Amino acid sequence: MRSAGHAAGAGSSPRLVTFAFKFSLCLCRYVRYADFGKNSARQSDNMGRLSRCELAFFLISVGYVLSLYGHLYRLLLICFVLAIVLTGKLYGWRYQDVAAIRKGVLIVLPLYLYMALSALWTANPRFGVEYAAYAVMSVMPALSLGILLGMQKGLERLPNSFALLILTFLAMAVVNFYQGGDAMLFKDGSIRTVFAIFLCVSTPMLMANWLTGPRFAKWFSAALLLLALYALRESRSVVLLTIPVVAVMLCVYRRKQFLGYMKFAIPVAILAAVLPILIHGSEPHLDLGRLTSDTSFDVGDVPGEFKLPPEKRIDFARRLTTYTALRNLSHAPVFGAGYTSVWQENIQKYAYSLSAHGYIGNIAEIGIVGMTVFLGIVAYATILFRRRVLGSFARMWAGEVPVIETALFFSFAELLVLGFVHQIFESVVFGLLLGLVLGTAWRCDEATLPAQRRAAPGPDVQHD
């Protein structure tokens, strides 16, 4: 939901603010050892120094720390702008980079202009237009940074960059827990949603480190993924998306190893399911939080459930938002009921601050016209990346594409799947990944792709 996307401003005690600045200063010490020369090849080879990707993601991590504990979302946006300026200034601006950023902005801007336009026919146009402006300010800097990084060679350090983000959120969760026992700051605006989104899109990158990185990076990425999964064990989207991606990447790039795991894992899973029944005579109850909690897809008369106690309302927030969205969609399917109309109606009718929830809410607000623009942007980026970077999906599934480029595609695909249950239009993650996909595709020379890629298949591929 949109309110979750504002995770900035969550829980800010003086001790937490102090931690935020100390953590940022500790990270800053590493920048002193970064080589800011323009020889990117030498930087990529020197594994002891920060690459441009790691420098940019380091600044993003600092931005999240400062914004989450400092009650100022603008600090995150400032860090994105600072990352753009430093990356371009310290490594050299090129005309191609500026032209690519301008092109990317022009591709995406129509969606946000239509969002602002549609807000004019809501009950509170000013509220909708202001939030559309917030969406632009969130997405455009991230999009520009992603394009700038994608246009540069040497994305082999991209997995380390995503790992830095996950490490930052884990550190915040640990500090939150020891400060007040609330690791995800549920009482102050929960950081779980943004953490869950980052973990889902970072999983392919962590797997890329596991598949191709040195031994330390391999085991560090595996430990980081397991710890993050434990921290977010109650997030259904995390569990349902990360595990399949891990399995798919193992199957593509470590087929023999994956089949060996399956020969061992399947009998163990069957035994684990059958043995308790044989011992106890019935299946034991497992409490895995929200993963095994009751769920409901009934949106017939959700407002009638306000008379029930809160503990008896199953998935109430999601179903109420879906109920409102479907009603709005039936009234204005083509042009939509207007951006933020679902949010406004929930507040006005039910005194419940719930924004649109996923694509159903999006299409209710901006209609078929707005969703067509969004799908056009996604289709353009996907087709361009497939043609210029992957060559073909068949080559990717055969493990003939470099692991990092496959991981980038899976990260983008995971974000699009998350769009069914989370609000991604205003997310900096959407802008960052879309920019990386577009920048990488524009950098690749389509004319030389077939010869280059046939001569250089993906690393560490194991086939039967």
pLDDT digits (tens, 9 = 90+) for 68-111: 777 677 888 889 999 998 888 777 788 889 999 999 999 999 99
Handedness of CA 221, 222, 224, 228 (dihedral sign): positive
Number of helices (H), then strands (E), in the chain: 19, 0
457, 438, 362, 392: which is closest to 1 by C-alpha? 362
CA 32 to chain centre: 29
Q: How many CB atoms lie within 10 A of CB 110?
A: 14
Q: Which residue has the higher pLDDT, 182 or 327?
A: 327
d(C-alpha 32, C-alpha 50), whole Å: 10
- Lowest-confidence pick of 5-14, 237-246, 250-259, 323-332: 5-14
Question: What mean pLDDT comes out for the span 255-282?
Answer: 66
Residue 229: Cβ-neighbour burial (10 angstroms; 0-12, 13-18, 19+): middle
d(C-alpha 154, C-alpha 43), whole Å: 9
- Lowest-confidence pick of 131-140, 261-270, 373-382: 261-270
Name the pLDDT band for 289 (thresholds 50, 70, 90): low
- Hey, which residues does 125 pair with through a beta bridge? none
User: Which amino acid, residue 160?
Assistant: N
Q: Which residue has the higher pLDDT, 292 or 351?
A: 351
CA 169 to chain centre: 13
Angle between helices 428-443 and 95-118 (to 10 degrees): 140
Whether pLDDT at 424 is above 80: yes
HEC per residue, 91-156: HCCCHHHHHHHHHHHHHHHHHHHHHHHHHHHCCCHHHHHHHHHHHHHHHHHHHHHHHHHHCCCCHH
417, 388, 377, 408: which is closest to 149 by C-alpha? 408
Angle between helices 215-231 and 158-180 (to 10 degrees): 40
pLDDT digits (tens, 9 = 90+) for 142-199: 999 999 999 887 688 899 999 999 999 888 888 878 877 777 666 555 678 888 899 9
First to last CA, the chain: 44
Cα–Cα distances (Å) from 412 to 374, 386, 405, 409, in that order, read 14, 12, 11, 5
Q: Specify the pLDDT at position 43.
A: 37
Name the pLDDT band for 272 (thresholds 50, 70, 90): low
Q: Specify the pLDDT at position 37.
A: 36
37, 94, 95, 32: which is closest to 58 by C-alpha? 32
Question: What mean pLDDT comes out for the span 380-407?
Answer: 93
DSSP 71: T
Q: What is the pTM of this model?
A: 0.83
Q: Do residues 422 and 197 make contact, with C-beta atoms less than 8 angstroms apart? A: yes
Q: Specify the pLDDT at position 464.
A: 42
Q: Do residues 410 and 245 make contact, with C-beta atoms less than 8 angstroms apart? A: yes
- Lowest-confidence pick of 41-45, 290-294, 356-360: 41-45
Strand, helix or coil for residue 254: strand
DSSP 191: S
pLDDT digits (tens, 9 = 90+) for 431-442: 999 999 999 999
